């Protein structure tokens, strides 16, 4: 076994690998960029080595620097995590040439599976079911249109060296194909240094289901069940689970056996994932093989009881697996929700900023993998993932219930995030029923998400909780010393509470330190409130049912959150409400002519000039962020008055790009 390993990665996966290595008594070396000098993963490691400036191309992707770091620290092996150099054949070869063990598969397997064109051919030869398509790279638009007519629309344009949803476009007609071809090639070149793309049939209403394989250097290979990864947005996974609610035992076995056959065909060892798309009739087709640890590996660990990082290290050190396929048993159900710094209401665009508050959930059956702590900065240079919230239960319903509670428990302030969106997903009837496909988010939510209005019984609960909180503040204020003599006591027993524009009259009486008798909505309620002023997250029991809320102080009340819903909840005395009703509403300014940057990024190109007439939806410029190209379009007809940026400029979120008259 190794004494010291270097982790050629950052963020939550570096923290996760360090955790297992330390449990095994192995020292770790962190490598870091200028932007990560004070990051959690650097502090967790036993040693650290500076790589260079923030851009990955000058730090985490420089093979020579990482090899030099191994030599300088005496690290005997390198774990690449996922992303960065984890699937680079040249990295594995450079380590081997330096006498350093790569904790992953052999270079030839990385090479074979890292190229989607080659991997499809090898999969077909190994007897794995594959999607109809054209096996070779295509670059000419006219040829692409001809091939697509043979394959049949819709077709998927895919980067040969791609991954993570980059360099992928779906086309339903020749015009979309030509535009998608150019976009996919540009993204592929920017992300992977390889602009080759190929075409294959796009299977409609598919599920994305992947098989986890584990193989050693002695010829043993097992599959550890499957992961359902169909809840995706723009080909990026959002919510994963194990096992899949769709597969039966026969399909699971067939997919697992084909996955192992492919692994054996390429001489694979270590952990790896064979991804399939599955149609509504449970016909499955090979998609790709990821020759590394997957982001969603925790759900497999939770249902199998295995530590995949530990197994990868042991395999790299030459150990046998020590168990067979018959020994693999799945226990219960697990979910993983990816918490991202992003703006769901603005089309899920990446967000940057400081985590002013970050309190992850901590209850039974909950696991949180993260690489940040409160006060850390989420920058524009790397993936905007904040944490992976995972839950495990005896049944799928148990795991979903625990996930809903865990998301209610997750406190995040200071930066846009998708926690409310994730809470909405796990509460969605279709998701609870297991009725999903890769188009689920697009079908149910469109291209953006805003919490639904708080109405009905939910509004009543918000009002009751807010009134109890406001009354508690009033009671505490009466106990303050030094008050002016002669001031009459304030009886905090009746309020007008506004939730989502609805006024709810609430009367209440404090029976005990935490127990309130409340009249609201024409009914009597009994509330136990576990809240103290200044507390953000708290529990409440309303009429015997438990709830978790979050509260932030705002003018005249609280911004309350629960179950993916949020609402400003205003609490007024009856006299204050009478006066407020006489106030004139402030007119809103017309900002429709100002085009701002939806996120921080790099201006790739500007398509308009001052004086140009533009129409609603017309392309104005292309902004690259997180290696993805985003088209910024006009939101109304007009004439371009100013253009504030040019190609190559770096802009902050909300920077003015173009103004229209």
Pairing of strands 619-625, 557-562: unpaired
The helix (H) or strand (E) run that includes residue 17 is helix 11-23
Tokens of 264: 């054996």
Q: Is there a catalytic annotation at residue 275?
A: no
Catalytic residue selected from 12, 228, 240, 288 = 288
**486 CB-near residues (< 8 Å, 6+ apart):** none
Which residues on adjacent β-strands are paired with residue 273? Answer: 212, 290
As a whole number of angstroms, the distance between CA 353 and CA 590 comes to 27
**Contact yes or no for 391/335 (Cβ under 8 A):** yes
Token output for 87: 């699937």
Q: What secondary structure does DSSP assign to 534-585, as a single string?
A: T-SEEEEEETTEEEEEEEEEETTEEEEEETTEEEEEEEE-HHHHHHHTTSPP
Tell me the backbone φ, ψ of residue 145, rounded to 5 degrees.
-65, -40
3-state class (DSSP) for residue 400: helix
For 366-482, where are the E strands, in sequence order? 366-370, 377-378, 385-393, 411-413
Calculate the alpha carbon distances from 624 to 249, 293, 605 in Å.
Answer: 44, 27, 9
Q: Kindly state the DSSP code that residue 452 receives in the 8-state scheme.
A: P
* C-alpha distances out from residue 58 to 32, 203, 255, Å: 11, 39, 40
- C-alpha–C-alpha distance, residues 252 and 236, integer Å: 23
C-alpha triplet 218, 220, 224: angle, nearest 5°: 145
338 cis-preceded (ω within 30 degrees of 0) = no
Biggest CA–CA distance in the chain, Å, is 92
Which residues does the annotation mark as catalytic? 288
């Amino acid at each position: 076994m190794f004494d010291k390993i270097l982790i050629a990665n950052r963020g939550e996966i570096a923290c996760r690998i360090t955790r297992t290595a330390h449990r095994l008594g192995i020292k770790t070396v962190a490598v870091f960029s200028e932007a990560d000098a004070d990051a959690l993963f650097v502090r967790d490691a036993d040693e650290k080595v500076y790589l260079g400036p923030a851009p990955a191309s000058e730090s985490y992707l420089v093979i020579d620097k990482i090899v030099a770091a191994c030599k300088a620290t005496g690290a005997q092996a390198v774990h690449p995590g996922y992303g960065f150099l984890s699937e680079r054949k040249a990295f594995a070869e450079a380590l081997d040439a330096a006498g350093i063990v790569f904790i992953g598969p052999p270079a030839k397997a990385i090479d074979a599976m890292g190229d989607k064109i080659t991997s499809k051919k090898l999969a077909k030869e190994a007897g794995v079911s594959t999607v109809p398509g054209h096996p070779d790279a295509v670059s000419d638009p006219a040829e692409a249109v001809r091939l697509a007519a043979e394959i049949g629309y819709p077709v998927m344009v895919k980067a040969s060296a791609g991954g993570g949803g980059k360099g992928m476009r779906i086309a339903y007609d020749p015009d979309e194909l030509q535009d998608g071809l150019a976009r996919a090639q540009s993204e592929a070149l920017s992300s992977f240094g390889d602009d080759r793309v190929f075409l294959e049939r796009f299977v409609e209403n598919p599920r994305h289901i992947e098989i986890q394989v584990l193989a050693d250097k002695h010829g043993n290979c097992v599959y550890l069940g499957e992961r359902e990864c169909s809840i995706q947005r723009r080909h990026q996974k959002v919510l994963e689970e194990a096992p899949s609610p769709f597969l039966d035992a026969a399909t699971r076995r067939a997919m697992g056996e084909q996955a192992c056959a492919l692994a054996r065909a390429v001489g694979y060892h270590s952990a790896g994932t064979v991804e399939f798309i599955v149609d509504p009739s449970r016909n499955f087709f090979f998609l790709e093989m990821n020759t590394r640890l997957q982001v969603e590996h925790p759900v497999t660990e939770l249902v199998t009881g295995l530590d995949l990082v530990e197994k990868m290290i042991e395999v790299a050190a030459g150990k046998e697996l020590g168990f067979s396929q018959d020994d693999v048993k799945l226990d219960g159900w697990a979910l993983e929700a990816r918490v991202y710094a992003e703006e769901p209401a603005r089309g899920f665009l990446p967000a940057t900023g400081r985590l002013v508050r970050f309190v992850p959930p901590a209850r039974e059956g909950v696991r949180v993998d993260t690489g940040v702590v409160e006060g850390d900065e989420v920058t524009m240079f790397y993936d905007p993932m904040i944490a992976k919230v995972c839950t495990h239960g005896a049944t799928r319903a148990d795991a979903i219930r625990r996930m809903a509670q865990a998301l209610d428990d997750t406190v995040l302030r200071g930066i846009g995030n998708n926690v409310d969106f994730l809470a909405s997903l796990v509460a969605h009837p279709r998701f609870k029923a297991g009725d999903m496909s890769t188009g689920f988010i697009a079908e149910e939510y469109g291209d953006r998400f805003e919490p639904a209005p708080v109405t009905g019984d939910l509004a009543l609960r918000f009002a009751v909780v807010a009134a109890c909180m406001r009354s508690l503040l009033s009671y505490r204020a009466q106990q303050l010393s030094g008050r002016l003599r002669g001031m009459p006591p304030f009886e905090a027993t009746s309020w007008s509470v506004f939730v989502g524009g609805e006024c709810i009259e609430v009367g209440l009486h404090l029976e005990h330190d935490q127990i309130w008798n409340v009249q609201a909505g024409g009914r009597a309620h009994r509330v136990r409130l576990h809240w103290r002023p200044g507390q953000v997250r708290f529990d409440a029991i309303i009429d015997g049912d438990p709830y978790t809320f979050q509260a932030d102080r705002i003018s005249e009340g609280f911004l309350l959150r629960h179950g993916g819903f949020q609402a400003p909840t205003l609490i007024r005395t009856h006299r204050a409400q009478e006066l407020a009703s006489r106030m004139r509403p402030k007119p809103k300014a017309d900002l429709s002519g100002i085009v701002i940057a939806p996120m921080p990024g790099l201006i790739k190109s500007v398509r308009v000039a001052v004086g140009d007439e533009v129409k609603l939806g017309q392309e104005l410029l292309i902004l690259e962020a997180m290696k993805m190209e985003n088209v910024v379009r006009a939101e109304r007809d007009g004439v371009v008055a100013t253009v504030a940026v040019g190609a190559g400029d770096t802009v902050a979120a909300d920077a003015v790009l173009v103004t229209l008259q």
